[in-house]
C-alpha cells in the first residue's frame, strides 16, 4: 500500500480555487497527494508551504523549488509563515486525521490490529505516548477522554477496568490494552468499539483538538480576501469545530449579527451542505468513508 491515498482529492483542490501566482498551504502533507495536485495548478511563481509533524513525511517532498516543507505541528502556522516572510496566503488545506502510512506501520502503535507498543505519537519527538496516558492518568481523566473523544457511554467503567489492570502490571502493548478491555468488547462489532478507544487515546496523545482549534483561529489572520479554507474531517469532534469556526469565526459557534441581522464572520461558507466521498471512492478506499469536506472563503 502507498504512503497515503488522498481523500476527496478533486473536490478539495477545486475548493481551493487555485490562482497560478498564489501562495498556498497544505497543513497535513503526509504522502503529498493533495500537494502534488496543487503544484500542477500553480505557475512558476506560485508557492506551496507544507506542514507535517511526522518526520517520515519529509521523504515524500517532491524536488520542486516552489515547495517548502516545515516539520512542525500546524498549530504553529502563523509563526512559520512569518519565518518564511509570508504575511498572507491565498488558500489553506487541511486533511485531518491519521495517515494510512501511520496505521500500516505496526511499530507506531496506531492500530489495534497489530501487536505493538502503545505509542500513537504523530511526532515521535513528543514525550507522551499512549502507554503514559493509560498508566498515569487518573480514572477521572481517562473517563473524560474516553467519553469526549471516543464517545463511549460506559467510559467510567472502562477507565476503572484499566486502573485495576495497571495496579498489577503496566499496560505496554496493544495486547495488554485489549486484554484489559475484554469485558467491554462486543462480540458483534469488536472493531467499532476498539476504534473508538484508540481514537480517544490518539486524540489525547497528540492534543489534536487543541491543535486544531489553535490552527483554525489563526487562519483568518493569514488569509487574503477571497482566499479559501478547505478542511477534511473524520469524526464529529473535528467537524463540529470546523463548522462552528467557518460559520461564526469562533470555535464555540456563537453567532453575532450586525444591525441588519447579517452574521458577522470573517468567512463566507461555500459548502452549505457538507461534501462526502462518492460510493465509488469509498469502495476504492474504505478509509475515506467517514470524511467530510467543508470550504469557506475569506470575506473582505
Strands 267-269 and 292-298 come out as antiparallel
CB 103 within 8 A of CB 138: no
Residues 23-63 pLDDT 10s: 999 999 999 999 999 999 999 999 999 999 988 899 999 99
pLDDT interval class at 106 (50, 70, 90): low
Q: Map grid coordinates 511563481 to a residue.
A: 45
Give the integer Cα–Cα distance in Å for 184 and 168. 19
Q: Range with the lowest mean pLDDT among 59-63, 104-108, 120-124, 167-171?
A: 104-108
Architecture of domain 107-206: Orthogonal Bundle (1.10)
Q: Residue 231 to residues 65, 147, 219, 239: CA-CA distances in angstroms?
A: 26, 25, 12, 9
What is the CATH T-level fold of the domain 9-100+208-298, as seen in this structure?
Rossmann fold (3.40.50)
Reported pTM: 0.92
DSSP 27: S
| 90-94, 119-123, 208-212: the lowest-pLDDT one | 119-123
Residue 23: CB atoms within 10 Å: 23
Domain ranges of the chain: 9-100+208-298, 107-206
pLDDT: is 3 or 10 the higher one? 10
Calculate the average pLDDT of the chain: 94
Amino acid at each position: 500500500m502507498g504512503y497515503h491515498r488522498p481523500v476527496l482529492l478533486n473536490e478539495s483542490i477545486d475548493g481551493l480555487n487555485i490562482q497560478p501566482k498564489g501562495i498556498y498551504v497544505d497543513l497535513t502533507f503526509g504522502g503529498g497527494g493533495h500537494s502534488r495536485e496543487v503544484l500542477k495548478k500553480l505557475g512558476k511563481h506560485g508557492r506551496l508551504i507544507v506542514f507535517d509533524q511526522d518526520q517520515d513525511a519529509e521523504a515524500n517532498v517532491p524536488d520542486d523549488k516552489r515547495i517548502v516543507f516545515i516539520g512542525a505541528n500546524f498549530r504553529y502556522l502563523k509563526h512559520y509563515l512569518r519565518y518564511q516572510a509570508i504575511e498572507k496566503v491565498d488558500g489553506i488545506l487541511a486533511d485531518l486525521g491519521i495517515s494510512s502510512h501511520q496505521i500500516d506501520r505496526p511499530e507506531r502503535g496506531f492500530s489495534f490490529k497489530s501487536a505493538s507498543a502503545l505509542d500513537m505519537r504523530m511526532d515521535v519527538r513528543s514525550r507522551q505516548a499512549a502507554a503514559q496516558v493509560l498508566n498515569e492518568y487518573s480514572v477521572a481523566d481517562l473517563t473524560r477522554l474516553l467519553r469526549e473523544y471516543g464517545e463511549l457511554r460506559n467510559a467510567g467503567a472502562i477507565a476503572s477496568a484499566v486502573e485495576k489492570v495497571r495496579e498489577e502490571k503496566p499496560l505496554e502493548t496493544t495486547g495488554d490494552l485489549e486484554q484489559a478491555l475484554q469485558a467491554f468488547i462486543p462480540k458483534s462489532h469488536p472493531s467499532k468499539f476498539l476504534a473508538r478507544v484508540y481514537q480517544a487515546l490518539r486524540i489525547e496523545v497528540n492534543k489534536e483538538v487543541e491543535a486544531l482549534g489553535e490552527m483554525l483561529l489563526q487562519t483568518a489572520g493569514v488569509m487574503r480576501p477571497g482566499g479559501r479554507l478547505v478542511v477534511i474531517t473524520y469524526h464529529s469532534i473535528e467537524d463540529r469545530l470546523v463548522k462552528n469556526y467557518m460559520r461564526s469565526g469562533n470555535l464555540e459557534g456563537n453567532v453575532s449579527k450586525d444591525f441588519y441581522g447579517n452574521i458577522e464572520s470573517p468567512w463566507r461558507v461555500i459548502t452549505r451542505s457538507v461534501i462526502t466521498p462518492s460510493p465509488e471512492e469509498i469502495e476504492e478506499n474504505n478509509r475515506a468513508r467517514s470524511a467530510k469536506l467543508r470550504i469557506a472563503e475569506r470575506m473582505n
